[in-house]
Structure 1
Amino acid sequence: EFREAGAWEFIPLEAIAPLVNDRVQLKDISNVNYVSTENILQDFGGVAVANKLPTVNSVSSFQAGDVLLANIRPYLKKVWAANFSGGASNDVLVFRPRNSQGCQYVAHILKNNRFIDYVMAGAKGVKMPRGDINSIKEYPVPIPPETTEQQKVAHCLSSLDEVIGLQAKKVQSLKQHKKGLMQQLFPAEGETTPRLRFPEFREAGAWEVKRLGEVCIICNGSSNAQDHVDDGAYPLFDRSEEIKRSSRYLFDAEAVIIPGEGMRFIPKYYCGKFDLHQRAYALSDFREVGKFIYYQLGALKGVLASKAVMSTVLSLRMPILETFKLVIPSSGEQQKIAHCLSSLDEVIGLESHKLDTLKNLKKGLMQQLFPQEVA
């Protein structure tokens, strides 16, 4: 119904949603309605309850319908359309649409990769870049000639956001379910019997205490491996073509990979050809069920991290891993637990893929629903 409505125009953001600098006393704010760069979620994910309040007398004030942008490291895409009133830190910019009917529209304009790219292009600083406020105010916002078209676009994208939000909650619920299940399927620290067992193993007795070095072979990676650790946690590389041409320390087996340094010693299960960074360990040649060991180490990652020693960074040494104690049931119970958790991982993977597909759908839709300004 709008195909003959004429061309859109571009208006500076400041003209339709100016920055507001209202203040509110901290005594009138709680953790529930305080927003900072820490509790606005990445990738336009909304907000979480704040862990703490600042030690100041007043903070920025925002209202329901405002759009908030965390202006430190804008590439994290921390943009939130407020659905309640509260207070915000000084590093959060508060935009207030002049027209209450345009609130959703402005929110979708700012929750857009095109806007984030624009902010980053003018950002200042390297480690902690900040968007340039004057430049942000001048961001060219596309406006259709008819208000009804603007409302239609906003409604379309808001409806899709609702679907994405429901799917995200489903994925999060599945992950929480798995976390709780693992806490019951594996014995707590210092115990040898889990709280939850499959019926056929309830009379099987206590699990046996073994050192990690007894149940698998532990190897270091090669100093020739690419000097990179993906996301600071998973030092794993699958480069088949390079493997054919190199003489690196390679694996072609079922293995559990554990980073040797950092803050998070999160295991990753892998099966196939890969090379390994020197600051990582590969657990292979399992005398027990490899995937069971992977899940058990995942459940004990906090305990494992507590064993690390501090040099320049937290490090796991080979003797620490070799002597790290696990409690192991019979191979039949191991297989049952591993199969249960693997099946749940498959469901989580499928639902996560659906979520990614919906996000990509919205991303593509926004590229077509909003015109790009001609330079």
Structure 2
Amino acid sequence: MSLQQRKLEVLKEQKKTYLKLLFPAKGQTKPALRFAGFEDEWKEVKLGEVGETYTGLSGKTKEDFGHGEGKFITYVNVFNNPLTDLYGLDSIEIDDKQRRVQYGDVLFTTSSETPEDVGLSSVWMGTEDNVYLNSFCFGYRPQKGIFDLYYLAFVLRSFSVRKEFMLLAQGISRFNISKTKVMDMSIHVPSLPEQEAIGYFFQDLDKAIAKQEEKVNQLKENKQTLLRKMFI
């Protein structure tokens, strides 16, 4: 099992490295590492100029949750996933007063216990109706035609962008970030074909990581089963 665990750790370290090398550092217009066929400089786009924000659920009590035909995306789902887990939803009553999440929306966490985890983002790729966002996050709806959504999911988790979020985090025991400051941020954007190439690359890498995690978990389960049988 140690070999499979090591393979998983290597894949995760590779992802961290690529999140640094495949996107330009602050003040640069080209990344350190690039796919063949792309040479143009990247431009910077201010988020607030190419999209709008909306708030998560408001005015809710605990009685509103756990039932109903509506669904809401949890904080943990946003926190853990660059691409939102389409099945990581909880039930809630449908409420026409609340903003619904739409395909292509970016969801941001607004607070965390550490500055390193503030402003983590997740792109919603679902198409179902009556999906809402938890109250500890806010949504961002980018204009169409500017971003490849898979690229957007990973550039917002890149080393340089995450560093920007850390610098913007405010607090002592708990750290927060405002929508206004996030909308003032600029991100590097290449041509759409290059965005797509980067997006596909990270999708494949995440699939490889998920597959290896399944393998490691299965080995752990097999070991536990064997140990139980040995001591019956």
**TM-score band (shorter)?**
0.7 to 0.9
1:294 to 150, 153, 162: 153
Once the two structures are superposed, the pairs formed by residues 222-371 of structure 1 within 5 Å of their partners are 222-223=57-58, 224=60, 229-230=75-76, 233=79, 238-239=89-90, 242-243=91-92, 245-247=93-95, 249-262=99-112, 263=114, 264-265=117-118, 266-272=120-126, 273=128, 274-286=131-143, 287-299=146-158, 300-310=161-171, 313-371=174-232
CA–CA distance in 1 between the matches of 2:156 and 2:147?
A: 13
Listed as ranges, the matches of 1:29-44 within 5 Å are: none
Which runs of at least 4 in structure 1 moved beyond 6 Å after TM superposition?
Answer: none
What TM-score does the superposition give when structure 2 sets the normalisation length? 0.77
Match of 1:114 in 2: none
Bigger relative contact order (CA 8 A; separation at least 6): 2
TM-score normalized by structure 1?
0.49
In 1, distance between residues paired with 2:225 and 2:99? Answer: 42
Q: Equivalent residue of 1:326, what SS?
A: strand
SS at match of 1:339: helix
Q: Which runs of 5+ in 1 are unaligned?
A: 1-163
Residue aligned with 2:29, SS: coil
Matching residue of 1:199: 36
Matches within 5 A, 1:1-375: 164-202=1-39, 204=40, 206-223=41-58, 224=60, 229-230=75-76, 233=79, 238-239=89-90, 242-243=91-92, 245-247=93-95, 249-262=99-112, 263=114, 264-265=117-118, 266-272=120-126, 273=128, 274-286=131-143, 287-299=146-158, 300-310=161-171, 313-371=174-232
For the structure 1 residues 269 and 367, does the alpha-carbon distance in structure 2 shift closer, same or farther, using more than 3 Å as the test?
A: farther
Paired residues of 2:78 and 2:122 also in contact (CA < 8 A): no
Question: What SS class does the counterpart of residue 363 from structure 1 fall into?
Answer: helix
What amino acid maps onto 1:183 in structure 2?
K
Number of equivalenced pairs: 203
Alpha-carbon separation, structure 1, partners of 2:77 and 2:199: 26
Q: Percent identity?
A: 22
Runs of 5+ consecutive residues of structure 2 not aligned to the other structure: 66-71
Contact 2:108 2:139 in 1 (8 A): yes
Judged with a 3 Å threshold, the aligned counterparts in structure 2 of structure 1 residues 232 and 214 are, in CA distance, closer, same or farther, namely: closer
| 1:339, distance to aligned residue in structure 2 (A) | 0.8
Distance 2:6 2:184 in 1: 39
* CA shift for structure 1 position 249: 4.0
Deviation, structure 1 residue 316: 1.2
**For residues 277-301 of structure 1, what are the alpha-carbon distances to aligned partners after superposition, in whole Å with 9 as ceiling and x for unaligned?**
2221223344311221111110122
8 Å contact kept, 1:267–1:294:
yes
**In 2, Cα distance between the equivalents of 1:312 and 1:232?**
21
Task: Provide the rounded CA distance (Å) in 2 between the counterparts of 1:250 and 1:233.
Answer: 19
Q: Is the 8 A contact 2:29 2:43 kept in 1?
A: yes
Deviation of the 1:234 alpha carbon: 5.0
